[in-house]
Amino acid sequence: MAFDLETVRKEFPILAREIDGKPLIYLDSGNTSQKPRRVIDAMTEFLENSYAPINRSSYRLAGEATDAYEGARRAVARLINASSTDEVVFTKNATESMNLIARSWGGANLGEGDAVVLTHLEHHANIVPWQMLRDERGIEIRWVPLTADGQLDLSDLDRILDGAKLFSFTAMSNVLGTLPPVAQLCAAAHDAGALAVVDACQYVPHNATDVQAWGADLVAFSSHKMCGPSGIGMLWGRMELLDAMPPFLGGGNMIDTVTLDGYTTAPVPAKFEAGTPAITEAVGLRAAVEFLEDLGMDDIRQHEIDLTRYALDTLNDRFGDDITIFGPDDTAVRGGVLSFAFRDLHPHDVSQILDERNVCVRAGHHCAKPLMQVLGVQSTTRASFYLYNGTDDVDALADALDSATDIFGF
């Protein structure tokens, strides 16, 4: 199936929704993506015909449900080119995946004075779990700074990484769209003897992902940003690493055996999947992965490169000095995320005015308050694109920004 925008849009029932008789312009996919018909149908069909517990019961229906759940794991492993399906662990969301890494690997390997390296681009999910460890056991947190256009400043990377135990960084900024050189950063981490952890939450939905080519050790991402349902996230890790890590949450499914005296753990991935998981959501996730594969990740990325270029040029041409778009201008190192300041309007007011025309954007700190401090702003307005957005959406955004002029009387 070749990438055709109108065909893609027809797959998303919500895009036919009108509010006040006007179409929906959804530009908040960096927050969460909309869901195609086949994801909705797969979940409904599963609930109506095949829902049952997994990994516990021996009747045929339970076998069917277990197969469906494990089918999702195979689909995710294929999508990111994992060397083994068992290297994919299902969690609640990418935030839980990051906490699993900090608690399990960090808990076993980090002590007072040990250094963890982060970057100024990070989402709170890749900051707070490490700050919690710092407060509990005195680890040190070091930061990779940014260049003026919002890329990582790698000029001093070797010194920053020197002696560090772990380097955890985003593969795509949720605020600036910046695409850091992941493979290069993984290699630099390993040269310094540090573990390479990648927050790929924004990256996987929009780019062909190959965790082996990256040379990463642990990678966190989520379903709900890639056309799948919320409530299920993923952690991929190299098997020998996952195997050596202690369990995260304790309970059913994650054990091999339990006695009055203690327990032994199940093999990976069950070791990290305590309790009944998001079974129906896994089924929806599999449908989402197959949807993305049918369209082709390279074609999706190319569509977003073209759209981002159009958006940068259109907004800069139409508003000139009245708009400041943060982040790199080069679409080779930027995904479809546009954070901007418009005149001296507060982002809350901008998003309110845009909402009047059903243009859905996010206003605020985007769960990246340290980055806001680095940018010298309290908050930004953010438009984020996905495969169902087109140049008409960008034009609608620009027209809606124009209407701010009328209301605030510039």
Task: Return the active site residues.
Answer: 367
Give me the least distance between CB of 202 and another protein, in Å please.
Answer: 20
Residue number with CB closer to another protein (328 or 347): 347
Give me the least distance between CB of 19 and another protein, in Å please.
Answer: 12
Give me the least distance between CB of 335 and another protein, in Å please.
Answer: 23
- Ramachandran region, residue 298 (left: φ > 0; alpha: ψ -120 to 50; beta: rest): alpha
CA 375 to chain centre: 22
The region of 71-79, 175-183, 186-194, 358-366 touching another protein under the rule CB under 8 A is 358-366
Tell me if 364 contacts another protein by CB under 8 A.
yes
Instruction: Report strand pairing: 88-91 vs 233-237.
Output: antiparallel
Amino acid at 172: M
One residue of 158, 191, 356, 402 binding another protein per CB under 8 A: 356
Across-strand partners of 125?
A: none
Give me the least distance between CB of 361 and another protein, in Å please.
Answer: 13
The alpha carbon torsion through 379, 381, 384, 388 (nearest 10 deg) reads: 150
One residue of 210, 306, 349, 399 binding another protein per CB under 8 A: 349
Residue number with CB closer to another protein (17 or 348): 348
Separation CA 315–CA 322 (nearest Å): 10
Could you tell me which residues come within 8 angstroms of residue 398 by beta carbon, excluding any fewer than 6 positions away?
314, 315, 318, 319
Residue number with CB closer to another protein (261 or 406): 406
Tell me if 16 contacts another protein by CB under 8 A.
no
Tell me if 409 contacts another protein by CB under 8 A.
yes
Tell me if 369 contacts another protein by CB under 8 A.
yes
Residue number with CB closer to another protein (296 or 364): 364
Tell me if 379 contacts another protein by CB under 8 A.
yes
Tell me if 162 contacts another protein by CB under 8 A.
no
- Cis bond before residue 269 (omega within 30° of 0): yes
How buried is 198 (Cβ within 10 angstroms: 0-12 exposed, 13-18 middle, 19+ buried)? buried
Q: Is the CB of residue 117 less than 8 Å from the CB of residue 167?
A: yes
Separation CA 389–CA 3 (nearest Å): 12
The region of 38-46, 102-110, 201-209, 361-369 touching another protein under the rule CB under 8 A is 361-369
Count of residues interacting with another protein (CB under 8 A)? 17
Residues that bind another protein (CB under 8 A): 346-349, 352-353, 356, 363-365, 369, 372, 378-379, 407-409
